[in-house]
Amino acid sequence: MRIFILEDEIHEPGGLDGRHRLKHILRKHELTLATSRCEGEELYRPGTYDLMLLDHDLEGRPECRPDYHNTGWQFVKWLVEYETKPVLTIIHSHNYDGGKKMMDLLTANGWKVERHFYGRVYETALEKQFGEG
């Protein structure tokens, strides 16, 4: 399975909620890891993913263009214009309003979207559904 992850704390051991565990849980899959909106746009390959895991708040990362914010919302706005084959997307942001905006835009454009707040329950569900590889 090919999985795209947009998460700024993916490489930080012991980061908020230990989000580096995503790499461990999904280690048997082909992962594309982006830590900022700009990096996401650079690494994303349309039509190639089976699952997307997206965060909203991508703070603390350099921005490629000062006229855009470094958020999952900005990435999703770009994504719906660029991707013609929507895939299952899980938004795991704790930012309620930002995550809702992302979910609403994706859903309005025909994407299947789930919303889960990041935490142990989310990790357990991912491990149960996708951890076997």
Residue 15 pLDDT:
47
Domains of the chain: 2-130 (3.40.50.2300)
Residue 23 pLDDT:
84
Distance of alpha carbon 23 from alpha carbon 30, whole angstroms:
10
Strand locations in 7-112, DSSP E? Answer: 30-34, 51-54, 88-91
The whole-model pTM stands at: 0.87
Q: What is the DSSP string of 49-70?
A: -SEEEE-SB-TTS--S-TTS-S
77 Cβ contact list (under 8 Å, min separation 6): 105
- In this structure, the dihedral spanned by the alpha carbons of residues 117, 70, 36 and 129, taken in order and rounded to 10 degrees, is 20
Residue 88 pLDDT:
93
Would you give the DSSP letter of residue 128?
H
Q: At what angle do helices 72-82 and 96-108 cross, to 10 degrees?
A: 10
Q: Which residues of the chain have pLDDT under 50?
A: 15-16, 133
